[in-house]
Amino acid sequence: MTNQFTKVLLFVAASLILFCACRDNDTYAERREKEDKQIQAFLRRGCVVRDKIHGFDVLNVPGNIKVISEAQFLAQDTTTDVSKNEYVQFGTGVYMQIIRKGTGQRITSGERTTVISRFTEFSIAGDSITTSNLLDFPERPDLISINNNSGTLDGVFVSGHMYNTYGSAVPSAWLLPLRYLHIGRQHSPNSQIAKIRLIVPGNQGHKVAINDVKPYFYEITYERAR
């Protein structure tokens, strides 16, 4: 009788574990589905964050975003037409708009360099700016150590707001644009440093985004350090 009762308990316990595992998988799938809906809504509406006290837009992202494929992006010489509000969608789920290609040279194979970055991070799920070194620490941009290893880019935050907030790991989505940009310095009024916009699903973002399965929008500039 005792053995039979023990078997029943073990069966119930195993069933509960299996049920919980299924629930966890379902929950993650539901979160991914919710994230996708949030991104699609952002593509339609964009966002405007206004400083009512000083009377200017802190962030203004036009809606009705036109999504183009990687093939079209390559056919356009790796550019996005800002006048048409184009963003290229990559296979990773990241969307990118190149506002300015930048000045100087690309980061070449075998090169290690330090990149200065200024950014604003907007939570698409929370519909609000979550962090920005432009607003919080304009005099202290983020520094990223970048290494091009035979065409594969990796990097770590050395210092700055992202480093202090999320740690040294650079989100995959932040490295992606560097393949297509010229990373130099502004030496004349006519030369402009690289500037892009990103829509980043959670699995391509920082540790909080990955853990929470939440999408973020970024407006970022990249500039080569001296």
SS (H, E, C) the chain: CHHHHHHHHHHHHHHHHHHHHHHHHHHHHHHHHHHHHHHHHHHHHCEEEEECCCCEEEEEECCCCEEECHHHHHHCCCCCCHHHCEEEECCCCCEEEEEECECCCCCCCCCEEEEEEEEEEEECCCCEEEEECCCCCCCCCEEEEEEEECCEEEEEEEECHHHHHHCCECCHHHHHHHHCCECCCCCCCCCCCEEEEEEECHHHCCHHHHHHCCCEEEEEEEEECC
Residue 8 domain-assigned?
Answer: no
Q: How many domains does the chain have?
A: 1
Answer whether residue 30 is part of any domain. Answer: no
Q: Report if residue 188 sits inside a domain.
A: yes
Question: 133 lies in a domain?
Answer: yes
pLDDT in tens, the chain (226 residues): 555 544 444 444 444 444 444 445 668 899 999 999 999 999 999 999 998 888 889 999 999 999 999 999 999 999 999 999 999 999 999 999 999 999 999 999 999 999 999 999 999 999 999 999 998 777 889 999 999 999 999 999 999 999 999 999 999 999 999 999 999 998 877 779 999 999 999 999 999 999 999 999 999 999 999 8
In a domain, 177, yes or no: yes
Residue 112 belongs to what domain range? 58-224
CATH of the domain at 219: 3.10.50.40
